[in-house]
Each structure stands twice: as C-alpha cells, then as structure tokens.
Structure 1
Amino acid sequence: MRPPAPPTAQSAPRPAPRAFNQLALGSYNEKLVIESIREAGTLSRVEIAASTGLTPQAVSRITRNLLTSGLIVQDEGRSAGAGKPRIPLRLRPDAGYAVGIHLDPWMITAVAVDLCGQVVARRRMPLEAPRDPDWCLAQMAALAREAAAEVPDAGPVLGYGAALPGPLDRRAGVLLDPPLFEGWDRVDVGAKLSARLGSPVVVEKDATAAAIGERWLGAAERAEDFVYLYLGAGAGSGAFLNGDVHRGATGNAGELGELCAPRPRAAGDDDVPRSAEECAPISTTLARVRAAGLPVPRGEDAYPWVCARAAEGDPAVREVVDGVARVLARGAAGLVGLFDTELLIVGGPAVLPGVRARYLDVITAAVNTFPLAHHVRTVRVAPSHLGEEAAAVGAASSVFHATFTPSLKAGRRARN
C-alpha cells in the first residue's frame, strides 16, 4: 500500500463553521451552538466556544437562552483540573418531535422521532397494488396523525416531512410521474398533505431525506462530507457536500440511472436511454430468484425471505444478490468519482441484514478500484444507522435540519 501523501492545502480537513460575533448575532449563532452540541453529544461552554469561535460571553448568553427555552439541559459537572468543574450541556430529547412519512411503491411508513433521533412511534401500511393519489394521500395523513398522537406526554410536534421517489419539484412539493406510480403525474403532494395535516410539510426526495437523517442521527460519525447510496424500490443517492445537503437546482440531485450501466445502453423506441434494471434492486432480485426456481413467497415477506436464504448461504440466491450488487457498485464508483468523497453510506429497504455484508463488500471493492483517483484516497463504506426506515426517519429529520441547522445561504439576513 502506498504511504499517504503529506497534508496539502487541497487535502486539509474542511474547517468547522465559525461564528460571526459581530455580523450575525441572531439565529445563526444559536443554531451553531445547537449543531455543535448535537454532533458532540455533550459539550461544556468552554468547549462550545473553542469549536465554534464564539466569544465566551456570546456562548454564555446563547446557552442561557437555550436552557430557558428547554432545548438543552445541563448534566452534572465534570472535573477539568483546577478551578470550577465544567458543566456538560446536551440536547433535550423531548424538547421537540417531528413526523416523517415515506411513500414507496409497496409501503407507506410514518414515524415520530424525538430531537435526538429516537423513533418513538411508527406506522406501516403495505400497498398490495397501485393506488390512486387521493387514497394514498389520505392514508399518509392518517398514519402521520396516528404517529404524532403517540408522542410521549403530548410533546411538541415541530412539523412533518415527506420522503418521495423522484423525480419531483421540491420547491413546489410536486411529484412528477415517478416510476412504478401510475397516475401520479404532477401530484401536489406537499400542499395536499399540508391541508390534511393542518401543518406545513417539508418535501424531500427519498435518498436526500435518508442522507439528512444520517447526518442528524450520526452526529460526530457523520460530520464529514459523504454520499448516501439509497437502495429500495429504486436506487438513488443523497449527499452532504461542503457541510450542507446537496439537492441540486430542483431537488433531484443524485439520480443513479446510467451510472450503473456497464456500457451505454441502447435507446428505446422513444429514443430515451434506459437505466440498468438493477436500479430497482428489490424487484430485480425477487424476479431473478424466482426465475432460478426457488419458492419465493408473495407479499411483503418475499424480500426478507430471500435475504434470509442469502444469509444461510444458498448459492443461487447469493449469485443473484452479488450480481445486482456488482452493477450498483459501478454506480457507487461513479458517485465517488464525481463528488470525491471519502465516506459512502449504504442503506435503505434493500439492504437488510441478510445481504448487507455482501453489498458492503462488493461496493467497497468497486469504489476503491474503479475511480481514476483511487490511488490518492481510501473510501470508507459504512452501513446506514437508519435501517430500512431510512427515508421515513430522514423525512422527520429534515424538519429538524430545516429548523436547527446553521446556514449562510442566500436569504438569511444577519442581525447586529
């Protein structure tokens, strides 16, 4: 193995966001403190000042306000040598909750999540056949209300998030004829859900929502830039780049499609290039295992059954799983080459425990072999913290992200 290159201006770690003590003394600095505590788990006031660049006076004022509002709490002091013990501060889990809803071709999932990412309630409804939009939206709203009703001690629900398959117009909250959703062209999901729930709804592409959830729940482990490879009914990706979620101009960044093809595919009759069929990993795996003659059950137990057979070492099933994983790994290598990240998260409903190790092994080999720059970086491939409910938990986390994450993007005004 080649020795690592010495640090350069290009390879130096990205500095943490620094505070603007004079130019942005309002919500940005408060969010910066919350973000620092969230990533570390607990921090003293001295540590907050060191990590954010805020003055001790500013940290004292902000933490006093956050304690008064109930967003953070103090733990017992810890000794730091001579002088007064440092008092750790942490987020209060029950200070706020969010509800996330995920619409999948075969399942509607709703979860309620506390401020520290713990799922406190969940609801699931299998979809046995394609359903019309109005019926699905009614069920999504009903499941979301049920999850919200189970929040402990009727805690405050800060908002609702919806994770949807692409393509979509995120700014308008409109779903744009996604694959496997017949009759869903230009459905105004955001506005219709908002009307049913009586609350604004944050709309995200499912893979982007999963990336946001990973960032929020992963804390310090996910503080660096990363790409999230989301595998479920379809395959897509979300990304955190330069410290913030990357959505693209319309919210559709991260489509995998032709990145997975081993060579350019022929156009169809309408002259539109076709994506690799492995970009629908669950249905492709089930179809190939059935074609191999195995007695795959029907319904929502089918894919878990296949994954269990793979874990048991069934050679026919493992051959199918490996074949699908190899094609998706080419797409993962393309993403790593495109974004030049050193962390790739793999998750979603297709990555159940029985096949997780196979996916991780195949993808790790690809992303550290195929890209041209593989000699100068080692990409770490890690399983998602979120499990098969990644998109739903991510949808809930998108509410926290929008509420508490510091950003200096256009539209924010500094307060003197």
Structure 2
Amino acid sequence: MAGLSGDPSVLRKLNSAAVLQVLHGALLPGTAGSGKAPQAAAMTLTEITKAVAFSRPTVEDVVEALLEQGLLNELQPTPSRSAGRPARRFGFRTDAGYVLGVDVAPEWVHVLVADLVGTVVTSHRAAVSRRTDGPERMAAIRAAVAQARAASPVGGQPILGAAVATTGIVDTTGRVVRADLPGWTGVNIAEGLADVVGAPVAVENDMRAGAIAERWIGAAVDADNVAYLHAGLRMGTGFLIDGRSPRGYHGAAGEFTQTGGKRALKAFRRLLDHLPEAGPDQPDAADGSRESVESLFVAAARGEAAAKAAAKHFAHTLVKAVEGLIVAIDPEVVVVGGSLALAGDIVAEPIRNHLASACVFPPRVEVSPMGDDSVALGAVRIALDQVEARLFLHDHRQ
C-alpha cells in the first residue's frame, strides 16, 4: 500500500512510528541493562520500504524527517563491488534520548540512566535511613536523580521518561497509598519528581519492577508467567501473568498475606541471629545492614555450615509463606532475587523441593543474576515501555 490515508498530520505520525519501530527492531541483541550496547544494525531505503509496505517516496520523506529530528543515524555505506553509488543505510539512534530508572528502597536510592535500548550509562546509589521521614526521603530521591543526571554523558540529549520503583503500594497517579516507611504513605512521587526529571514519571511497586526486569534480561527471559521472590533487607513478591503485571483493585496484587508476612519477617529476624562476626573493618553484623546480610548469604554459598543451614531454613519458610500465590498464578518460572540470590542453589533447592510437592505443575526455580539491581533495572524497562509507547504510538499497559 502507498502509506495510510486520512488526515495528513495523523498520517505523518503513523508513518514515522512505523519506520521507527522497524529500525528499532532491527537492532541486533546485546546485553541490555548491563552496560553493553546492542550492536547497531542498519537498513537501506529498499529494506525499510519492504518492511513497512509503504511507497518509496513516503519512506524517503519519513526517513529525512526522522534524521532532522535526531532519531535516526545515517551510517557508512557498505562497500560494494558493483558500479554506482552504494545504497544509503539508516539506523535507530539509541542515544537520541535517555531514561531514568529509580529504586526507592528503605535504606537506599539507586538511580540508573540508560539509553533508548536500556544500556546503562550511569549508576548512582545514595544511602538513606529506614527511619528517614517522607519529605527527607523525597529530597534524597531528588538529589540522587540530579546527581545521576549531572554525572551522565547525555550531553544535550533529553530525558524522555522515568520510572520509580518504590517499596509500598502505589496507585496509578504515582501516589503511595500504603507503606511501612515513616511519612511515606500519601506522598505523590510522580509530582515530586516532575520538575527535576522534566519528562513523564511512572511509579510502580518495587517487587513488580523486579519481576519485569527478570523477564527482560534476567533469569526469566521470554517467560510470560513468572513469580519473583525477593528477600534481603526488604522482602516481597511480584508476578507476571501472560507477560503483564496485574495490579489488582487497590494496586496490592502479589502482596504478602498478613499471616505470610509475619511468618517471613519472623524468619528473617531469626536469620539475623546467624550473621557472621564482623571483621575489624566491617560493619557490625548485628545492625542488619545490607553488607552484613549479604555476607551471610555469601557464607552460605561458600558452604559454611551455620550460614548454610540458616539460609536454607529461611528460604523454606519464605516459600511456604507465598505458596498460595505461586499455586494460584501457575508460573513457568520462579525467580529468587535480592540478596538471597547470593546463596545460589543453597536457597533455590529448598524452594524447588517445596514447590515440587505444593504445585500441580512444579515450576522451574532460577536464581537472579542481578540481585538487588533487578528493581532499578525493572524501573528502566518500565520507563522504556512508556517511551516506546509514545514513539511507536502503542497503547502500552503493564
């Protein structure tokens, strides 16, 4: 067909979106989110015309407009032995803009700046206290975002979108409707970051973001039905059904039950009794800091008997607390994330064994390669989804 017919301004947007999507999809896979960029792939005008099924003049006009907008690159032509000029080649500009992914945990703010295919260019982490009140925590997030932006090689390119993954339950406006952190309930994160980001800000629960990251570049790549178990200084679950993350009526889908949450918290406190003794230059293990909790799971992975037994007992208690959720969603894969992932198969084994008897169809159990970073990376993916929905004119809802 010779392009779409109708209102000219709408047609230009639709045609531009179609060409952009084809060239974006032509990127050769890399390890997005890890800092390694996908390899640039290019297409000729003839190849683009065939892919979008528009007329060649339409494609030429669209490509020239996208070049002027800075969304495409014209790459060096491929050397040819035939006579005549080599065909022009075009590629999607991954650095035409950037996104922010922010993890708001009880004891830190982690900000990632990534390009338009998710390659991380800057990572900034700032410590906060679990006792920090709402306004002070919001100020810390704003400061961390500003510092990450200042340290990023974005030049004059814009921030096109951002997503914040926070502990607690949030509504669709970006407001925290329930949280255990002091003064955090009622805070509208999207509004609080609007001026410092300068682009649309999506806000999501941290465990939901972790599940999204695992499906994107983690232990559940290409799995549409996923359960995510995260444990460390924060605990929770997230899940995907048919590739989407259901929110539920109040945005609380996937939360611990009251009984399950108490059981998991009691098991975690018991776990702290087995923390390795701190060395002279290490934080006191009794403080339950991120480093000390991680040290226990690392000790378990090394095979130290006490740490190994404590980690296995905790993992078994944790999966019992959420077995109802896992049975209900019938996942293909259960991902073990957070600091708990540092113990590897030591904790995956009791979870796997329990689910083998609890589930009609036992899922496979995998250990996250990202640990705590999965939440910030999930926020990057959410931000990219929002930006791509605008660029490609899709109606995208998680």
The verdict on a shared fold, with TM-score over 0.5 as the criterion, is: yes
> Judging changes above 3 Å, is the alpha-carbon distance between structure 1 residues 303 and 243 closer, same or farther for their aligned structure 2 residues?
closer
Q: Which moved more, 1:244-253 or 1:305-314?
A: 244-253
- Per the alignment, residue 105 of structure 1 pairs with 106
Q: 1:325 to 1:77 in 2, by over 3 A?
A: farther
Contact 1:96–1:157 (CA<8 Å) still a contact in 2?
yes
Which residue is 1:267 aligned to?
none
1:190 aligns with 190
Match of 2:270 in 1: 288
- Identity between Structure 1 and Structure 2 (%): 24
Pair 1:141 & 2:123 matched: no
Question: Residue 274 of structure 1: which of 251, 259, 270 is its match?
Answer: 259
- Distance (whole Å) between structure 2 residues aligned to residue 182 and residue 361 of structure 1: 36
1:82-231 equivalences under 5 Å are 91-154=92-155, 155-169=157-171, 171-179=172-180, 181-217=181-217, 222-231=221-230
Q: How big is each residue's C-alpha offset from its partner over 1:327-382, in whole Å with a ceiling of 9 and x where there is no partner?
A: 3334665444333332333323x2343x13323333344444421234xxxx3433
Q: Is the contact between residue 98 and residue 397 of structure 1 (CA under 8 Å) also seen in structure 2?
A: no
Once residues 335 and 39 of structure 1 are traced to their aligned partners in structure 2, the CA distance between those partners, rounded to angstroms, is 37
CA distance in 1, matches of 2:308, 2:77: 51
Equivalence map 1:8-407=2 (5 Å): 25=14, 29=18, 32-33=21-22, 36-37=25-26, 40=29, 54-55=52-53, 69-71=69-71, 91-154=92-155, 155-169=157-171, 171-179=172-180, 181-217=181-217, 222-232=221-231, 233-239=234-240, 241-255=241-255, 257-258=256-257, 273-277=258-262, 279-280=264-265, 284-285=267-268, 287-292=269-274, 294-295=276-277, 297=285, 298=287, 299-330=289-320, 333-348=323-338, 350-353=339-342, 355-374=343-362, 379-405=363-389
Q: Secondary structure at the match of 2:253?
A: coil
**2:230 counterpart letter in structure 1:** L
Alignment partner of 2:204: what SS? strand
Per-residue deviation, 1:119 = 2.3
CA contact (8 A) 2:229 2:236 kept: yes
1:382 and 1:38 map into 2 onto residues whose CA distance is: 28
- TM-fit CA distance, 1:140: 0.5
* CA contact 1:214–1:384 (8 Å) conserved in 2: yes
Identify the structure with bigger relative contact order (alpha carbons < 8 Å, sequence gap 6+).
Answer: 1
Please give the alpha-carbon distance, in whole angstroms, between the structure 1 residues aligned to 2:135 and 2:322: 35
C-alpha contact 1:160 1:201 (8 A) present in aligned 2: yes
Q: Following the alignment from structure 2 to structure 1, what is the Cα–Cα distance between the partners of residues 92 and 349?
A: 36
- Name which of structure 1's ranges 57-66 and 396-405 shifts more when overlaid on structure 2: 57-66
Contact 1:190–1:203 (Cα < 8 Å) also in 2? yes
Alignment length (residue pairs): 358
Structure 1 residues 44 and 351: alpha-carbon distance in aligned structure 2, compared to 1, 3 A threshold:
farther
Please give the alpha-carbon distance, in whole angstroms, between the structure 2 residues aligned to 1:205 and 1:112: 19
Distance across 1 between alignment mates of 2:217 and 2:23: 14
Structure 1: gaps spanning 5 or more residues: 1-19, 80-84, 259-272, 412-416
CA contact (8 A) 2:23 2:42 kept: no
| Pairwise CA distance, 1:64 | 6.9
1:358 counterpart SS class: helix
Distance 2:109 2:79 in 1: 45
Q: What is the Cα deviation at residue 139 of structure 1?
A: 0.8
Mapped partners of 1:358, 1:400: distance in 2: 34
Evaluate the alpha carbon distance shift between residue 45 and residue 190 of structure 1 in structure 2; reply closer, same or farther with a 3 A threshold. Answer: same
Maintained 8 Å contact 2:160/2:199: no
Secondary structure at the aligned position of 1:123 is classed as strand
Query: What's the offset of the Cα at 1:319?
Result: 1.4
Relative to structure 1, the CA distance from residue 124 to residue 27 in structure 2 (aligned partners, 3 Å threshold; closer, same or farther) is same
CA–CA separation in structure 2 for the residues paired with 1:352 and 1:210: 13
Distance 1:410 1:100 in 2: 18
Kept in 2, the 8 Å contact 1:116–1:217? The answer is no
Letter in 1 for 2:270: R
How big is the shift at 1:65? 6.1
Task: Confirm or deny: 8 A CA contact 1:173 1:203 kept in the other structure.
Answer: yes
Question: Alpha carbons of 1:317 and 1:87: their partners in 2 closer, same or farther (altered >3 Å)?
Answer: farther
Unaligned runs of 5+ in 2: 30-37, 81-85, 279-284
